[in-house]
Homo-oligomer: A and B are copies of this chain.
Amino acid sequence: MSRIAVLGAGSWGTTLAIHLAANRHQVALWGRDRNEIGRIDATRENAKFLPGIPLPEQVKVRAELEPAIEGAEIVVYAVPSQAIREISSRASAAGASGIPVCVAKGLEHGTLARMSEVLAATLQDRHSVVLTGPSHAEEVSRGIPTSVVSASDDAARAETVQAAFNSARFRVYTNDDVIGCEIGGALKNVIAIAAGVCDGIGFGDNTKGALLTRGLAEIARLGVSLGARRETFFGLAGMGDLIATAMSRHSRNRAVGERLGRGETLDHVLASMTMVAEGVHTARAARDMGRRQGVELPITDQVCAVLFEGRAPREALQSLMTRDPKRED
């Protein structure tokens, strides 16, 4: 039994807090929106992001960072990727000292930093843990069997986090390839947007099978250029998460693509969403990173063209699917 702080009271943060309480930890759940946090504490339910699931008694809801992180052996960062720098800076100033676990999947705008790089800068801690893999919050909260990865270059920390989170229906495997796990988690949201476009314009499973195959190859190319191991992309943090995201009705990123494919504008789609679609932010950062690394990312490029340059989704997809055929490699 440990003291664990979960920073971020969205659907994933709330789900993990409830899961950790079921694993008999003492959990503090912190959110930045005081009104929201007050409502969650009063009703013992996160009606906005996880309706119908009661918060167990062991989850203490906190509006202030200090009491949330005080004595916490593990601090889980469960805010959107573009907010990780700010929230981890505040946590650092508030004295956070436990093992940092990042569950946000993305790349930072502008700096192109991976989340562990952001935490290294803000927390002065170069050995954070990445918890990633195919894990829709809605399903974890219903007890659907789920398998994830606890990745760190500090093996003892990866195992501590594994032990804290593991349960019969939430299996945690360790891995030491932090870069691979982070790139897999971030980039799959971009490919999921492309898969959604595929759905929106009425293409089929044949198209998606081919698109995801090329998408994973593209993710792996970028990751390997950054020092990741190729095998990581064929594990839970790569292929597993990509499939779960790109095929699921739960995925916000796939849904963004589907609506674009049906002809809605990006502004219209984003205005109607209560949750962040990480892939929209990550697409641009991934494209810039590909250029920096000299790695071709044709699907990412087309997703950016659709998102930011008004390219017609059908044209973008067709240009990907009708290249001159040659050898498969």
* Residues of chain A having any CB pair with chain B under 8 Å: 133-136, 139-140, 142, 144-147, 149, 162, 166, 168-169, 171-175, 203-210, 212-213, 216-217, 231, 234-236, 239-244, 247-248, 250, 317-318, 321-323, 325-329
Contacts and interface: CB of A to CB of B under 8 A. Distances in A.
A117 to B, nearest CB: 22
Nearest to A144: B204
A145 B240 contact: no
B205 A325 contact: no
A205 B145 contact: no
Nearest to A155: B327
22 contacts: A133-B209, A139-B204, A139-B205, A139-B206, A144-B203, A144-B207, A169-B321, A171-B322, A171-B325, A172-B325, A173-B328, A204-B248, A205-B250, A209-B242, A210-B240, A212-B239, A212-B240, A213-B234, A213-B235, A213-B236, A236-B328, A243-B243
Nearest to A231: B329
Contacts of A210: 133-134, 145-147, 171, 236, 240
Nearest to A139: B204
Contacts of A329: 175, 231, 235
Nearest to A329: B231
A214 to B, nearest CB: 8
Nearest to A181: B328
B248 A146 contact: no
Contacts of A175: 327-329
Contact of A244 (B140, B147, B172, B209): B209
A210 B174 CA distance: 14
A140 B205 CA distance: 10
B328 A206 contact: no
Nearest to A318: B145
A216 B236 contact: no
Contacts of A169: 321-322
A156 to B, nearest CB: 13
A178 to B, nearest CB: 13
A243 B140 contact: no
Contacts of A213: 134, 234-236, 239-240, 243
Most central of A146, A236, A325, A327 by chain B CB within 10 Å: A325
A209 B135 CA distance: 9
A1 B148 CA distance: 52
Given A169-B322, A209-B241, 14 more contacts: A142-B204, A144-B207, A147-B206, A171-B321, A171-B322, A173-B326, A173-B327, A173-B328, A174-B328, A205-B243, A208-B247, A210-B236, A210-B240, A235-B328
A321 B206 contact: no
Given A147-B210, A204-B139, A323-B171, A239 B236 contact: no
Given A212-B240, A240-B212, A144 B206 contact: yes
Contacts of A326: 173-174
A135 B235 contact: no
B236 A325 contact: no
B208 A146 contact: no
Contacts of A172: 325
